Structure 1
Amino acid sequence: MSDSYKKIVVGTDGSKSSLHAVERAAEIAAAFKATLIIGCAFYETKEEASKTLRQDSVTILGDDPAQENLEKAEKVAQGVGATSIEKVVRPGTPVEALMSIVNENQADLLVVGNRGINSLTGRLLGSVPADVARQSDCDVMIVHTVD
């Protein structure tokens, strides 16, 4: 096991909270000269979105808004010094999307914000940060993005 991060995945949904996580992931990527992979999940249909909807997640319908979120996140990442940046859109829930991006890229670190982790819904149904922390085979950093 190497002691440095080479591939860092971070998810964004365009929210201020998720962009704070992107910023933190980008700082780490810059420090380790690692590749930053920014992912954004989207739902292909309204039915799919309503089936899996959680109160803690922003619903992104279609990959156009997802691409826009990635452009915004890339600017944030570049602003703090990340130079090697890849962007990925993935259909499905945020957890499914992040896990597939992590596994496909054999990422060393996954960075997520803490939104939803302390809400009642988050404690009962699970939240993106808690779910990815349980499922991930790589290190997971939960950034304090929401009080």
Structure 2
Amino acid sequence: MFNKILVAVDGSSTAMKALEHAVKLQKLTDAEMLLLCVYKHHSLFEASLSIDRPPGMDIPDKMLSDFAREVVDHAKEHAGSLGATKVRGFVKGGRPSRAIIDFANDKEIDLIVLGTHGTNSDRDGLLMGSVSHRVASNAKCPVLIV
């Protein structure tokens, strides 16, 4: 049924709920689970900060990438605590919906699992967040939105 399940994680509670559902599916199918956290890439202009930086201050992309790695590591730990096996984590920079879809295509993903809203949601607004809506509308594989 499913050989590769992609779970988009961003540290939000809905992403963790999606991860929990993905673990249940993995247990049924013995699929490989790939966790992906996407951070918004900053331009070279934004990254330059156009001022002297104190020693040890990283450019925005580096800080965001490091934080995204922490999000993936936490999600990987949580998946393991729920009994998941064959879990790998990835971090990508870019527009989240496009990065998720491109990653899914590159890795020949059979199912994408993500939360209805992420960390930038307006829960009183749309029924689905813009990222989940775009992924569901444009992915070549099935999408489970939790």
TM-score by length of 2: 0.77
- Deviations 1:86-120 (CA, angstroms, capped at 9, x unpaired): 11111112102211211111111000111259753
2:27 counterpart of 1:25: no
RCO (CA 8 Å, sep 6+): is it higher in 1 or 2?
Answer: 2
- Distance in 2 between the 1:33 and 1:106 partners? 16
One-letter amino acid of the structure 2 residue matched with residue 65 of structure 1: F
Match of 2:87 in 1: 85
What is the aligned counterpart of 1:65 among 54, 64, 67? 67
In the TM superposition, 1:80-119 aligns within 5 A as 80-115=82-117, 116=121, 119=124
Displaced runs of 4 or more, over 2 A? 43-48, 116-120
Instruction: Give the 3-state SS of the residue equivalent to 2:106 in structure 1.
Output: helix
- Deviations 1:4-57 (CA, angstroms, capped at 9, x unpaired): 100000111112221111111122112210000000001232859xxxxxxxxx
Q: For structure 1, list consecutive stretches of 5 or more residues without a partner in the other structure.
A: 49-59
Equivalent residues, number = 126
Instruction: Give the 3-state SS of the residue equivalent to 2:36 in structure 1.
Output: strand
- Distance in 1 between the 2:122 and 2:79 partners? 24
- Distance in 1 between the 2:12 and 2:23 partners? 16
Q: For structure 2, list consecutive stretches of 5 or more residues without a partner in the other structure.
A: 48-60
What is the aligned counterpart of 1:142 among 124, 142, 145? 145
Match of 1:40 in 2: 37
Which protein has the larger Cα radius of gyration, Structure 1 or Structure 2? 2
One-letter amino acid of the structure 1 residue matched with residue 96 of structure 2: P
Residue range with higher mean Cα deviation, 131-140 or 110-119:
110-119
Identity value in percent? 30
